A and B are shown apart, each in its own frame.
Chain A
Amino acid sequence: MKNDIILSGVGGQGILSIAATIGLAAVECNLFLKQSEVHGMSQRGGDVQSHLRLSDRPIASDLIPHGRADIIISVEPMESLRYLPWLSDTGWLVTNSSPFINIDDYPPIEEILSEIKKIKNHIIIDADSIAKRIGSLRSGNMVILGAASPFIEIPYHNLENAIRNLFKPKGEEVINLNLKALRAGRDFTGK
């Protein structure tokens, strides 16, 4: 078993909580894991990515080679395209549809979505609206993770456990909102 995952977004959007959730679940499943993060300058509103590698065998490189990622999980649509060189021919691209516009020359969203649709295996999800409906705009991350979860070779209940552990300090209400968000994303892809 091997899952190479690229997580992408804009600095401050919180891709690291997705990484932390998958990471905790992977450890619970006794998988090997390497996860490289971007810290420092780029975090100030620039593009950020994380390479997350899971395997049942030891992992050599902290970086995923080009053409080898099984999944791109993106909290921002244009950012999902930036990492296409890493996506394998059979890989899945799972992205939020809501753009984060902090640059003047952000392209029309329709053009971005049509580029994404050129990838055979894609899931475009309006995570912000779904999160809002659930009652917490900030759990959009977990909606996207839920939407990507069928492609991650980790049992769903392990992801749920990870959310319980990760958000434990924030209390039962936050845990439940995030579990609902994960489920909503999962159901979206399941349909």
Chain B
Amino acid sequence: MNHNIQKLLLLGDEAVARAAMDAGLSGMYAYPGTPSTEIMEYIQSSAEATERNIHREWSSNEKTAMEAALGMSYAGKRAMVAMKHVGLNVAADGFINSAITGVNGGLIVVAADDPSMHSSQNEQDSRFYAKFAFVPVFEPATQQEAYDMIFDAFELSERYKIPVLFRITTRLAHSRAAVELKLTIPEKKLKLPADQLQFVLLPAIARKRYRALLSTYESLKYDLSISKFNSFTDGSDRRMGVITCGIAYNYLMENFSDSKPDFPVLKITAYPFNKDVFTEITDKCSSVLILEEGYPIVEESLRGILDNGIKIHGRLDGMVPRDGELNPAIVAKALGLSVSAGRDVPEIVRMRPPSFCAGCGHSDMFSAIIEALKSYSPGRVFSDIGCYTLAALPPYDTINSCVDMGASITMAIGASDAGLFPAVAVIGDSTFTHSGMTGLLDAVVKNSPVTIIIGDNSTTGMTGGQKSQATGRIENICLGIGVSRDHLRLITPIRKNFEENVRIIKEEFEYHGVSVIIASRECIQTAIKRKKSRASNELS
């Protein structure tokens, strides 16, 4: 082994983070979200990042993260912002307009998609956003490609003055492999944009910039730093060629671990592309199979509306399932190869869904809510994204909605507008500061008869206990937004307080105006971690 080359065992997320640091990153911005969380966490735990003082604080939400990263780029430095796929919905305004302003320092937007919804509400494909915004995409298939492509992405971003979308999916984000590191690039110096109006999207300027963006997007289709990542390998069996996007290539090759495919293969890991990328495979083969993780984006664009070209197989004709992530067996079936089903799972194996940890404050909070709700008909609890969403499952069966970050408060407002009383919102502390505060303002302005219960565990729990922007601030935020002192109630959800908590919750259910109940108890997981680290500090 060559000892000059350093190799690290990294998760896909960590490879992205490490690469950004090695490529001269000055600012990392993010809000936690599975499967993207470990990108920021890697940088936060890096001694080198601390020494260089790379910005590495969590943001309140993906939009503030996106915009702060754009600001870092404005100042001429390399910035990266990371989020889960649905986070890009929150950041979409800034993201799409950043394509029109363009960038100054290199800017990478990492979107970690979650096909099969392991930990998400949907399986939206972030490549759609890139097309929508006219932004190039890198979609690595391996941890090493993820590491290497970050360098290209920064370089491309600065050369074309355009943000780059870096798309990874759960399997890459959370899979570990050895990654060979490159020589590091120093951070950029502070340097403001030459054109002081570049970032001013007044209509007259925006129109010009938009036309420039459209022409940039055309040029990108022919740029070597994108097309070099789209490779064609010929084969003698021309009956069906295979086109893979991103990680799908791995699932194809898994079926040929002892051999090589004897058909032509086009591997795509960067976008946009021009027509020529496809003509080699479509000219040679009488049909093609398209394997892409996520939506059939390439498949749809190849088919077009008329769909009168060569025979195309993929997610749209049922050769590959329309939804869910790919795996080697799905690919084998599509290729007509035999697939081992393996043994059956014995019938006695029971489901083991996730549940509240032993000693979790949310379970005591919900016990009190359930008791307080007993005199009302069911179906009035709007909730949100976080550990407390588990109250939808037995034995709690309490919440009736989980839509997007912050939707608990606003849906409760709408339902109360329709006449539902009491209408209840249950939201976590980090979710509240992410997207709940503006909804609360709506409720205060209209004096909506809603009861908002903030389960404050002083952390971002579901993603593993990241720092919550809300910690120590919720009470003052609510008062500042205009919640009446008399209807801002503080409770501690522990068994001993059950009766009192039920009484307080009931009182506020009956109030015809905005109530906020803050139920505070530290997350049991972060409490354990805190005690452990205190103990080890005392030892050392």
Contact = CB atoms under 8 A, between A and B. Distances in A.
A151 interface: no
Nearest to B38: A39
Given A23-B176, A63-B328, A41 B34 contact: yes
B356 interface: yes
B119 interface: yes
Counting chain A CB atoms within 10 Å of each CB, which of B1, B38, B346 scores highest? B346
A187 interface: no
B327 A47 contact: no
Given A37-B174, A105-B350, A66 B340 contact: yes
Nearest to A69: B342
A66 B341 contact: yes
Interface string B336-354: 0001111111101111111
B345 A85 contact: yes
Contacts of B11: 37
A59 B352 CA distance: 31
Interface in A63-107: 63, 65-68, 78-79, 81-82, 84-87, 102-103, 105-107
Contacts of B350: 78, 103, 105-107
B437 interface: no
A137 interface: no
Interface in A36-53: 36-47, 51
A167 interface: no
Given A11-B354, A30-B1, A41 B9 contact: no
Contact of A78 (B35, B253, B349): B349
Nearest to B173: A39
A17 B223 CA distance: 44
A65 B174 contact: no
Interface string B281-294: 00000000000000
Contacts of B174: 36-39
Given A61-B254, A84-B343, A40 B177 contact: no
A45 B353 CA distance: 7
B251 interface: yes
B407 to A, nearest CB: 18
A41 B355 contact: no
A127 interface: no
Contact of A35 (B1, B34, B177, B356): B177
Interface size grouping (class) on chain A: 35 or more
Nearest to B8: A27
Nearest to A44: B354
A56 interface: no
A42 B172 CA distance: 18
B357 A44 contact: yes
A24 interface: yes
Contacts of B390: 44
A32 to B, nearest CB: 7
A1 interface: no
A42 B119 contact: yes
A86 B342 contact: yes
A81 B349 contact: yes
A138 B172 CA distance: 30
Given A10-B352, A33-B178, A85-B342, A63 B327 contact: yes
Interface in B343-402: 343-346, 348-357, 387, 390
A36 B346 contact: no
A27 B342 CA distance: 29
Interface in A107-159: 107, 111-112, 115
Given A44-B357, A67-B342, A112-B348, A62 B171 contact: yes
B118 interface: yes
A65 B340 contact: yes
B250 A61 contact: yes
Contact of A60 (B9, B171, B178, B257): B257
Interface of B: 1, 7, 9, 11, 34-35, 37-38, 118-119, 171-172, 174-178, 247, 250-254, 257, 327-329, 332, 339-346, 348-357, 387, 390, 462-464
Given A62-B177, A106-B350, 11 more contacts: A24-B9, A37-B174, A37-B175, A38-B174, A39-B37, A39-B464, A40-B34, A41-B354, A45-B357, A78-B352, A87-B342
Interface of A: 10-12, 23-24, 27, 30, 32-47, 51, 57, 59-63, 65-68, 78-79, 81-82, 84-87, 102-103, 105-107, 111-112, 115
